[in-house]
Amino acid sequence: MKLQIKPTASIALRSAIVAGATLACAHGGSTEPVIAPAPAASPSPWEFRIEPYAWLTALDGTVGILNQTGSVSASFDEIWDVLDFAAAMQIELRNGRWGIIADGFYSDLSQDFTPRTGLHTNGNFEMQQFIGELYAAYRFTESSCGFVDAYAGFRYTYLSNELTAQAINPRVDNNIDASKSKDWFDPMIGLRGQWNLNEKWFLAGKGDIGGFSVGSDLTWSLQATVGYNFTSNVFVELGYRYLDTDYKDGGFTYDVEQSGLYTGLSIRF
């Protein structure tokens, strides 16, 4: 009996034989099964960013302890004369539209000042300051042109102030040597955004306001920077940052504006 092979089946059979021969040639005649490569792992939805930064601030305002107040003022070029130590860091964790932002700034400053009492001279003011911020952020728009976030949370401020001053009349025992520390929380709301000029350059800004007599009577800040992307994960920023805080409680006064050059190096993971 003759085996009849239909034309379609014949073509399929010849194709299978040719494919098998080609495969055997490509693998040196090996009969071991070919194992397909594992699929690439999907990227993580989480993004982590860390940004150590420097904020070279000028100071202008009024500070006081036990109702003894004095003016403090240091311009940007004088900050090196009053700054003893400073450190700052920002951290951000994002997943989709939601993010958490933490920011910490510490400085140790000291400066001579003129007491307003009219009875003292040779005043000196020393301040240790920590500002910590924690926000939840929501990205309500994002495109190749940039993004806009709304955020809300709190700003924590710790201050340790020390005032010393000598009495003008040395025969009067009326020298000032007072120190006091204070800390408080301010509820905050704000907006931030970024505008991409091209693949390398961008503009960024943010502003917030808070206090509302919960902690400070009022506190608000503004920041504007220009940035440059070295890679998709590393960029630098350079710009200006301003912070105004008006806090008074039990003879403790801190009504000060801080402003100056801001520069940071940001790394994404």
DSSP 209-259: EE-TTTSSSEEEEEEEEEEEESSSSEEEEEEEEEEEEEEEETTEEEEEEEE
Structure tokens that stand for 246 in this block: 């008006």
Contacts of 41 (CB under 8 A, 6+ apart): none
Q: Is the pLDDT of residue 91 over 90?
A: yes
Average pLDDT on 234-249 reads 96
Per-residue model confidence as pLDDT tens digits over 129-146? 999 999 999 999 999 999
User: What pLDDT, on the 0 to 100 scale, is given for residue 5?
Assistant: 36
User: What pLDDT, on the 0 to 100 scale, is given for residue 2?
Assistant: 39
Average pLDDT on 254-264 reads 94
Q: Residue 236's pLDDT band (boundaries 50, 70, 90)?
A: very high
Distance CA(140)–CA(120), nearest Å, equals: 55
User: What pLDDT, on the 0 to 100 scale, is given for residue 63?
Assistant: 81
User: What pLDDT, on the 0 to 100 scale, is given for residue 201?
Assistant: 98
Q: Residue 79's pLDDT band (boundaries 50, 70, 90)?
A: confident
Whole-Å CA distances, 37 to 41, 64, 99:
12, 70, 35
Q: Residue 266's pLDDT band (boundaries 50, 70, 90)?
A: very high
Distance CA(57)–CA(72), nearest Å, equals: 13
Structure tokens that stand for 167 in this block: 């009495």
Contacts of 152 (CB under 8 A, 6+ apart): 135, 136, 187, 188, 189, 190
Q: Judge contact between 176 and 116, C-beta under 8 A.
A: no
Per-residue model confidence as pLDDT tens digits over 145-192? 999 999 999 999 999 877 777 776 666 666 666 677 899 999 999 999
Distance of CA 79 to the CA centre of its chain: 22
Q: Is the pLDDT of residue 259 over 80?
A: yes
User: What pLDDT, on the 0 to 100 scale, is given for residue 54?
Assistant: 95
Q: Residue 74's pLDDT band (boundaries 50, 70, 90)?
A: confident
The count of residues in the chain is: 269
Global pTM value: 0.75
Distance CA(200)–CA(182), nearest Å, equals: 43
User: What pLDDT, on the 0 to 100 scale, is given for residue 117?
Assistant: 61
User: What pLDDT, on the 0 to 100 scale, is given for residue 16?
Assistant: 38
Domains and CATH numbers, the chain: 46-268 (2.40.128.90)
User: What pLDDT, on the 0 to 100 scale, is given for residue 165?
Assistant: 74
Find the helix or strand (DSSP H, E) in which 35 lies.
none
User: What pLDDT, on the 0 to 100 scale, is given for residue 171?
Assistant: 62
Place of tokens 């080609």: 22
What is the DSSP pairing of strand 46-65 with strand 252-268? antiparallel
